Structure 1
Amino acid sequence: MMTRRTFLCGLTLGVLSAPHAAGAQQAGKVYRIGTLVTSQIDLRGEIFLTFLERLQELGYRESRNLVFEHRGADGRPERLQELAQELIAANVDVIVAWSTPAVAAAKRVTTITPIIMASSGDAVATGLVDTLSRPGGNVTGVSTHQAELATKWLQLIVELLPRAKRILVLWDSTNPPDVVARPGLETAAAQMKTRLEFVEARDAADYELALRAAAERRVEGVIVLPSGRAYTHRIRLAEAALKSRLPTVHGFREFVDAGGLLSYAPSLRLLARQAANYVDRILKGAKPANLPVEQPTRFELIFNLKTAKALGLTIPQSLLVRADEVIQ
């Protein structure tokens, strides 16, 4: 089993300082990178360490030519803008933002400082960039197609539970990718003759109540649309789902590490490396408006067999053979 990754959703914000010489780092320059996550940054977590490792490969070293400013919103997305303003005051050179709300908060605060989407959903549909090829403004980075991913999550839970007719979808209407994903999910469910029940959930109590009520209504499975709030409460969410004997499908592997049943998601390690590449290009003088937005090239299917056993489920062999990792 891989080391648990606790670094999910993050936001960074900063102000561009002196102009950078194109194509090369400035001798003697110490660059300041701001980071802000919806929860709290784990500086020893695999995602941040992967990001840092790639920066080191590109010639950056902490305390030599690189300084970080970290901020965490403690699971309260409404604080992101305030924390972004703090990073502006700290005069960071570039913003690295994990999550759509983080990017959006940074964008509201500055039109000058480069903002890198280390992870975001549907950047065009949510208004973060103009187009993927020509993002415009001061935002670029990596973006997933959340609507397509949500349909894949539905397909997976139907393949896992072929007789299931009622699926609960836990979502957050304040999270833009959730809003973008819902119409596609509803269309796919109609084609599969599966009924979806959308329930708003934003804190641990919401998740516990929704899952308990779903079990009483004989709902057969759960799709948890990923958000910063869901990530913050992932352990409580997994415990509540297991108590209600409901299998869950997730958009981040950290939920499966916490006890969820399965996830299908981009490789967060590769996203971290892509984000570091953007940082390097920006610090060497590239303009965000001219750097095309990239999309993930690798997705991972992960199962938690311990959870499956606790639920009394047998994972079909057709799914297991496609798994990138199986947690025993």
Structure 2
Amino acid sequence: MMLVDAARMAGALLAIASGLVVSASSVVAQGIDRVAHIGLLCLSRCDTPAFDALRGGLRSSGWIEGRNLKIEFRAADGHIDRLPDLAQELVNLKPELIMAFNPQATRAAKDATATIPIVFLAVADPVGIGLVDSLARPGGNVTGLATLVPGGLMGKGLELLAQMVPKASRIAVLLNPSNEVSNRLFSLDAQPAARQLGLELHVFRVRAPEDIGPAIDAASQAKVHALWAPGDPIFHNPVQRIPELAARAGLPAMYLTREFVQAGGLMSYGPDLLDLNRRAASYVDKILRGAKPSDLPVEQPTRFHLVINLKTARALKIQVPQSLLVRADEVIE
């Protein structure tokens, strides 16, 4: 008898749990009785942790891919010259909005349409490069979340690298000439900080993923002491490329995002990009429900993370200062 009652109770609990799941799904999707059509434009790849975070944010807002949301993906595999045609392809499909990952993709989308709303992600200093009129009043058809604005983030990254490797005075910098943001902030933030820290910066230009290897080889031949990759989509194609090449060259390296440190890089300092991408879903949701991009202020990051890979530090024979370990948001063993 007790076994029967236990079985009945278990069945009842399972039914309740199933009902809660169905109810939660209904609540999430309430108010959405149509299929929205949007585009996603990426310089490198679209299938990244950043997009997974965005997809999660969209689901929380009730937009579920394959149910009430259709996404058209276009990725240039790191080749900027392909972006204008890919952007035009998306515009010709007449989506309700276009999401653009990084400055180059956002520029291509903006050049392709002045009417379809554009939500950008992974763009720093959107005002400085002319994508929006101001953070508070973007104007036009473009808005989104800025990864940073001028004011010292690049300089802070250099300072942390100098603390990690005090004897490093010659720093190789990887810069993509097509990245308006990195080049602008390099001049505004990095160069003054380098002078103050007594660092000598050597710039190596990379225009496509296949340029990265030769650039790091050239940096090694130039007898630099460390490597700095301020951030660019082509650096993620694939994400382990630079950490592996830097390790082979014996160069300690600083990155903008934690993915590189997870892939074996020494350290990173930058905004929480996954959090920014989750938050970007609210912009998509609002626009799909009728809001205008010009009425949605550009948000800025509120959290910056320092991540250190101790295994890589040991391989490079670097003794990580206690001051950095104490302030690190994440330490990878």
TM-score (norm 1): 0.87
The structure 1 residue matched to 2:145, chosen from 132, 142, 147, is: 142
Q: Is the 8 A contact 1:261 1:304 kept in 2?
A: yes
Name whichever structure is richer in helix by fraction.
Answer: 2
- Answer yes or no: is 1:209 the counterpart of 2:214: yes
State the shift of 1:75 in Å.
Answer: 1.5
The structure 1 residue matched to 2:322, chosen from 317, 321, 324, is: 317
State the shift of 1:146 in Å.
Answer: 5.4
Q: Is the 8 A contact 1:51 1:272 kept in 2?
A: yes
State the shift of 1:51 in Å.
Answer: 1.6
For 1:109, the equivalent position in structure 2 comes to 112
The structure 2 residue matched to 1:81, chosen from 74, 79, 84, is: 84
Alignment of 1:267-306 (within 5 A): 267-306=272-311
Q: Tell me, what secondary structure is at the counterpart of 1:142? A: strand
State how many pairs are aligned.
303
Stretches of structure 1 that go unaligned for 5 or more consecutive residues are 1-23
The structure 2 residue matched to 1:243, chosen from 243, 248, 255, is: 248
Instruction: Compare 309-318 and 201-210 and name the one that shifted more.
Output: 201-210
Q: Is the 8 A contact 1:25 1:284 kept in 2?
A: no
Residues 138 and 25 of structure 1, relative CA distance in 2, 3 Å threshold: farther
State the shift of 1:208 in Å.
Answer: 2.6
Partners of 1:294 and 1:239 lie apart in 2 by 34
Deviation per residue, 1:245-291 (Å, 9 max, x gap): 11111112222222221111211221111110001111111111111
State the shift of 1:106 in Å.
Answer: 0.5
Residues 268 and 144 of structure 1, relative CA distance in 2, 3 Å threshold: closer
Q: Is the 8 A contact 1:25 1:283 kept in 2?
A: no
Q: Is the 8 A contact 2:84 2:108 kept in 1?
A: yes
Q: Tell me, what secondary structure is at the counterpart of 1:130? A: coil
Q: Tell me, what secondary structure is at the counterpart of 2:119? A: strand
The structure 1 residue matched to 2:64, chosen from 61, 64, 69, is: 61
State the shift of 1:39 in Å.
Answer: 2.1
Q: Is the 8 A contact 2:148 2:271 kept in 1?
A: no
State the shift of 1:309 in Å.
Answer: 1.7
Q: Is the 8 A contact 1:146 1:177 kept in 2?
A: no
State the shift of 1:209 in Å.
Answer: 2.9
The structure 1 residue matched to 2:135, chosen from 116, 129, 132, is: 132
For 1:8, the equivalent position in structure 2 comes to none
Cα RMSD after superposing both structures: 1.9
For 2:223, the equivalent position in structure 1 comes to 218
Residues 40 and 215 of structure 1, relative CA distance in 2, 3 Å threshold: closer
- Answer yes or no: is 1:182 the counterpart of 2:159: no
Stretches of structure 2 that go unaligned for 5 or more consecutive residues are 1-28
Which residue identity lines up with residue 95 of structure 1 in the other structure?
I
The structure 1 residue matched to 2:93, chosen from 76, 90, 93, is: 90
Q: Tell me, what secondary structure is at the counterpart of 2:327? A: coil
For 1:156, the equivalent position in structure 2 comes to 160
For 1:11, the equivalent position in structure 2 comes to none
Higher Rg: 2
Percent of pairs with identical residues? 44
